Amino acid sequence: DAGVIQSPRHEVTEMGQEVTLRCKPISGHNSLFWYRQTMMRGLELLIYFNNNVPIDDSGMPEDRFSAKMPNASFSTLKIQPSEPRDSAVYFCASTPQENTEAFFGQGTRLTVV
Amino acid sequence: QQQVKQSPQSLIVQKGGISIINCAYENTAFDYFPWYQQFPGKGPALLIAIRPDVSEKKEGRFTISFNKSAKQFSLHIMDSQPGDSATYFCAASIGSSNYKLTFGKGTLLTVNP
């Protein structure tokens, strides 16, 4: 199994541009999470999907952030417009069912200049 | 408000020594306490977890000690090895649900050969 696959691994963009991060969860997993990691705030849950439905998006920082899961094998996290304070490592994770171990991808390091 | 406080921020241990990382929580509703290990450029991975009905859990060289009355838990790594060098995160959640984890800020462990 290839694990959770995230793309791109690194993204550098200018302030104001739209950024789209992509995630392919492990096949058969029906829960998907987006996390953000920064030195100041550590690891924060942004949004949680179960069976492709957003269950909890209370961690999404503001309206500039949006996430979709059109099918069981793909999710996106979009930031529009991006700001320098959005610079962080964004992780996607998936689990086979609720209340089981989450498997993390390798992350996307986003730098907004 | 940080609900899970982790210390120290960084730790240097000699090979063969014992590494100890501590966490304290505030919310008495927390009932699931995992530890995650993260290597550079990788996502966090579940290392070991404990629920409050036991005071200790051991898996190989890794042990979690849990003190419910003090609202503290700690990770002990016995016979620390250079390959253990990584960032360690404690976390906590309510209702044994691992999707709404509150993470500590992390401890960077360096094990010198």
pLDDT in tens, A9-61: 999 999 999 999 999 999 999 899 999 999 888 899 999 999 999 999 999 98
- Please check the confidence at residue A1 and state whether its pLDDT lies above 70: no
In a mutagenesis test of the A interface, which of B98, B102, B105, B107 is the best target, namely the one with the most A β-carbons within 10 Å? B98
- Contact check, Cβ <8 Å, B97/A4: no
**A91: nearest CB among B43, B98, B106:** B43
Q: What pLDDT digit, counting tens, does each position of A26-40 carry?
A: 999 989 999 999 988
Tell me which amino acid residue B103 is: F
- A31 lies within 8 A of chain B by CB: yes
Q: Which of B32, B7, B29, B24 is nearest to B109 (CA)?
A: B7
Collapse the DSSP code of B7 into the 3-class scheme (helix H, G, I; strand E, B; otherwise coil) and give the result.
strand
If pLDDT is split at 50, 70 and 90, which confidence band does B104 have? very high
| Beta bridge pairs of residue A109 | A10, A89
* pLDDT number for residue A95: 87
Mean pLDDT of B68-72: 94
d(CA B87, CA B80): 14
- A12 lies within 8 A of chain B by CB: no
- Please check the confidence at residue B63 and state whether its pLDDT lies above 70: yes
* pLDDT number for residue B96: 55
Q: What pLDDT digit, counting tens, does each position of B12-51 carry?
A: 999 999 999 999 999 998 988 999 999 998 999 999 999 8
